[in-house]
């Protein structure tokens, strides 16, 4: 999803004044100095440990990692 700056003219018509590419969550997290690759590794290690200790199934572990990665790659904007 991209970002658009929209203004209204004197007659009330919408005018797009600027369009820019949106940011995904991992880019924004990185801007705040966090190590996204390290975050992924931590989650993967914690999930693997939970499987090893039989707290969650392998299928559940796979879903957790998949959903975590998808969230990092998704845009920061709300979608409807």
Per-residue pLDDT at 38: 97
> What DSSP character marks residue 32?
T
Beta bridge partners of 8: 14
Domains located in the chain, CATH noted: 23-80 (1.10.287)
Give the tens place of pLDDT for each residue, 45-79: 999 999 999 999 999 999 999 999 999 998 776 65
Give the tens place of pLDDT for each residue, 22-31: 788 999 999 9
Per DSSP, the three-state class of 69 is helix
Per-residue pLDDT at 61: 98
Q: Give Cα separations from 27 to 46, 51, 68 (angstroms).
A: 23, 30, 15
Mean pLDDT over residues 31-43, rounded?
Answer: 96
Per-residue pLDDT at 80: 47
pLDDT at 5 over 50: yes
How remote is the C-alpha of 67 from its chain's centroid?
10
Question: What are the helix (H) ranges across 1-80?
Answer: 25-31, 36-52, 58-73
């Amino acid at each position: 999803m991209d970002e658009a700056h929209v203004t209204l003219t004197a007659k009330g018509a919408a005018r797009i004044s600027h369009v820019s590419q949106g940011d995904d969550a991992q880019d924004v997290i990185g801007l705040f100095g966090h190590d996204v690759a390290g975050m992924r590794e931590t989650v993967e290690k914690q999930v693997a440990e939970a499987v090893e200790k039989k707290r969650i199934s392998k299928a559940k572990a796979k879903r957790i990692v998949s959903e975590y990665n998808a969230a990092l790659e998704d845009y920061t904007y709300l979608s409807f």
